Amino acid sequence: MSQPKSICFSEVLTYTEGVREDLRKLIIHLDPQSIALNYSEDNPVADGLTYGMFQLLKKHLAGTPYVDRFLSAETLLSKLRSRKLPAEIDLISDAARLTVQAWERAVPQIKTGMSEKEVAAVIEKTITEMGGEIAFETIVNACDKTIPGHGSPTDIKLEPGDLLHVDFGARIGGYCADLQRLLYFRRPGEDKAPETLIEAFATVRHIIDKTGEMCCPGIVGMDIDKRAREILADYGYPEYQHALGHQLGRAVHDGGALIGPNWKRYGKSTHIPLELNNVFTLELEINLPGIGCVGLEEDICVTENGARFLCPRQQELIVR
């Protein structure tokens, strides 16, 4: 039998009865001072090794000094996933632009009386018809009748006076976009959206403006997130209960650094400095009782001069 071939590795070693002896010989020959393993307490991108395989590796190397040289590959993998090549940024930009175009095509089809599920189906059908894939299950909120977040669309129907909030994204060439958009349906007799909604929309947009200016190499995510919360407080709104932004790439939540608060749930990720050409979302919301989730999300690339937005933003509230 010929040796197996691989386009990824220059040499592939085989074994018959078990890997233990061959693995020990190889490790002893290489004599590594550290062995980076795919586990992490903070970053799921760097946490692919199962506990069982970790225990098996310890057994295979028992009696050698190498068990004490295990460490997390988190730092390496986080930087690898975070640092985007120009071609990768182009693909994310293409996905973001297609997502915006799909939204623009879908909006005329969305009407009161439609359920959240029906709205999601229209948007996802439009994305696929335009040549994209669905990056993640579309999230739809009709007014405040459902809770914004990572829940599935429901049979709840849109009514006059509802704010439609959609969190969705296309995937192109294996790279994802992640946007949030808003559409308000007027009540009978209304000639515009309520002032409370207009003011909240302007505040969310303003915070994305200001925090985008801060997205330069070297700044840590918790400082950007802190500024967003300060502006919200200045305008008298409560804090959002999540991070301001996450990285984008092959996964919707990618990379190591996070733009978020210094909370235990985020570990060290909000302490990692942003780097040139990292790609992030900027997202937050204000929840208005009886109206809905005033949430916007934009996709940006880190440059020396702050955020470069990767697709047209929603600058004005759409009112129907």
What pLDDT does residue 5 have? 59
Q: Which residues contact 117 (CB under 8 A, 6 or more apart)?
A: 140, 153, 154, 155
Q: What distance in Å separates the CA atoms of residue 206 and residue 234, rounded to the nearest whole number?
A: 12
Q: What distance in Å separates the CA atoms of residue 226 and residue 230, rounded to the nearest whole number?
A: 6
256 belongs to a structural domain: yes
Residue 320 has pLDDT above 90, yes or no: yes
User: Are 164 and 102 contained in the same domain?
Assistant: yes
272 belongs to a structural domain: yes
| SS percent in the chain: helix, strand, coil, step 5 | 35, 20, 40
Q: What distance in Å separates the CA atoms of residue 317 and residue 109, rounded to the nearest whole number?
A: 17
User: Are 169 and 227 contained in the same domain?
Assistant: yes
The domain of 272 spans 84-319
Output the six-digit token pair for 157: 């129907």
pLDDT in tens, 232-251: 999 999 999 999 999 999 99
pLDDT in tens, 91-115: 999 999 999 999 999 999 999 999 9
126 or 42, higher pLDDT: 126
Q: What distance in Å separates the CA atoms of residue 104 and residue 181, rounded to the nearest whole number?
A: 10
Angle at 88 between CA 209 and CA 283, to 5 degrees: 25
7 belongs to a structural domain: no
13 belongs to a structural domain: no
Q: What are φ and ψ of residue 98, in 5° steps? A: -65, -35
Instruction: Give me the half-sphere count of Cα atoms (radius 13 Å) on the Cβ side of residue 149.
Output: 8
Domain of residue 97, CATH code? 3.90.230.10
DSSP lists the bridge partners of residue 292 as: 288
User: Are 64 and 156 contained in the same domain?
Assistant: no
pLDDT in tens, 146-168: 988 888 999 999 999 999 999 99
pLDDT in tens, 247-272: 999 999 998 999 999 999 999 999 99
What rounded mean pLDDT belongs to the chain? Answer: 95
